[in-house]
Amino acid sequence: MIVQDGGLPSNVGGGANCRNILRRVFAILKKNDWWDKLGKVEGLLQLFEQHKIDLSELYGKFEDYKSFTAIITAEYNRWESTDKDQQKKLMNLFNKNKKLSIDDWIIAMQSWGIPADAISQITKLPIPGNLYYEIANRQEATQKAEEVILYDTTAFP
């Protein structure tokens, strides 16, 4: 639905959520050896089409989005090519101290695009209990403050 609504996978904002969801799906399919059973990206695209049919009962018919296949395929290709590079970066970081700080977890997730469960699997470390809380706090702290109106000037010409 994100892509259908015009959202694109990226490293910031809602696009980061889209990218994280897609990469999580790719990682789960790979972890469980479902890619071959599904038929790689083509099978995943067929599954998306079936979801569109199922969800149309709730949301109405989805308009045809010509770039959908290209977006999903491009994101899969990026994920596949960066997966090994990101794991190497993560292992270099981990091998320095044999542990990861909360900052290291956040950098690996947000800058390198590695999901928390993949970091845990690679490093054999448990996911910190406060990881998502810390990410939310940092995002909240960087959001723009609400505009304050100091003087009511609506009565002036």
For each of the chain's 157 residues, which pLDDT tens digit applies? 888 888 888 877 778 888 888 888 888 898 889 988 998 899 999 999 999 899 989 988 888 888 889 999 999 988 887 777 788 888 888 888 888 999 999 988 888 878 788 888 889 999 999 998 998 888 776 656 677 777 788 888 8
Instruction: Give every CB contact of residue 106 below 8 A, 6+ residues apart in sequence.
Output: 131, 134, 135, 138
Instruction: Give every CB contact of residue 119 below 8 A, 6+ residues apart in sequence.
Output: 90, 100, 105, 108, 109, 125, 127
Of 83, 121, 90, 85, residue with least CA distance to 105: 90
Whole-angstrom Cα distance, residue 89 to residue 82?
A: 11
pTM (2 decimals)?
0.61
Predicted local confidence at residue 144, as pLDDT: 60
Predicted local confidence at residue 142, as pLDDT: 64
Give Cα 57 to chain centroid, integer Å.
27
User: In this structure, are residues 4 and 68 in contact, taking their beta carbons and an 8 Å threshold?
Assistant: yes
